[in-house]
Amino acid sequence: MRVVILGSGRGSNAEALLAAQQEGRLGDARVVQIFSDRAAAPILALGPRFGVPAQFLDPGPFKTKFDDAGEERYIEAVRKSAADLVVLAGFMRILKPSFMEAFPQGIINLHPSLLPSFPGLDAIGQAWRRGVKITGCTVHRVTSEVDGGPIIDQAVVQVTSEDTLATVEAKVHAAEHLLLPAVVARLSKQ
Ligand code: GAR
């Protein structure tokens, strides 16, 4: 199963996928390409480190969505890499139905809360400020409803009286780094 990763930032979840692949924990999945909508995103440095092509692709002038030309650039590039699965690993743009229609084989997204709680931006901060005692992360299929597609799997994180926002963030990220590779490995066997 050929996996293409789209990411905008740090790339710790892309790194978790690549490390899992190196360690033989990614099932029949293989990361074949990384694309980022930010030229300076640290995720792009994973390419040379792991021997995977990693490339900035111009998304167009908007901050949170593609313009038509940007969308076309992404659709064409992802098609060219013959993706069987597109993984959004911290890709901070809302995709239009036309993008989803281009990849009926599937797009999945990682979100740092137990959806349907706390969709949207700053999910960990939202959960922290709400005072939840249990939070976590979710991998779900991407549909045109933001953070609303069918849930594939979730991991739970306990919030204790010792926690700070920073420690909850660290726990959620650690849970993500286990959940995402496990889900991709499972999907590769289906
Ligand atoms: C992750 O926590 C992911 O769940 C979140 O961005 C972070 C990316 O980190 N995604 C969203 O909030 C999407 N709504 P990374 O760049 O280190 O993988």
pLDDT bucket at 105, cuts 50 / 70 / 90: confident
Question: Residues 156, 1: contact at Cβ < 8 Å?
Answer: no
Which residue bears the tokens 């939202």?
A: 126
- Tell me how far apart the terminal alpha carbons of the chain are, to the nearest angstrom: 10
Residue 156 phi, psi dihedral angles, 5° rounding:
-100, 140
Q: Is the pTM of this model over 0.95?
A: yes
Domain range spanning residue 101?
A: 2-188
Name residues whose C-beta falls within 8 Å of residue 99's C-beta, 6 or more positions apart in sequence: 66, 71, 74, 75, 107
Question: Residues 12, 41: contact at Cβ < 8 Å?
Answer: no
Please say if the pLDDT value at position 46 is more than 90.
yes
Ligand 1 centre to CA of 112 (Å) is 7
Please say if the pLDDT value at position 8 is more than 90.
yes
Ligand 1 centre to CA of 147 (Å) is 12
Catalytic residue among 111, 140, 173, 177: 111
Structure confidence by residue, pLDDT tens digits, 57-69: 999 999 999 999 9
Nearest to 109 by CA among 78, 151, 75: 151
Please say if the pLDDT value at position 26 is more than 90.
yes
- CATH number of the domain where residue 153 is located: 3.40.50.170
Structure confidence by residue, pLDDT tens digits, 117-159: 999 999 999 999 999 999 999 999 999 888 999 999 999 999 9
The structural domain count of the chain equals: 1
Instruction: State the DSSP H helix or E strand holding residue 88, giving kind and residue range, or none if neither.
Output: strand 85-88
Q: Give, for ligand 1, the residue of 12, 64, 110 to mutate: max count of ligand atoms closer than 8 Å to Cβ.
A: 110
Ligand 1 centre to CA of 23 (Å) is 23
Please say if the pLDDT value at position 54 is more than 90.
yes
**Whether 177 is catalytic:** no
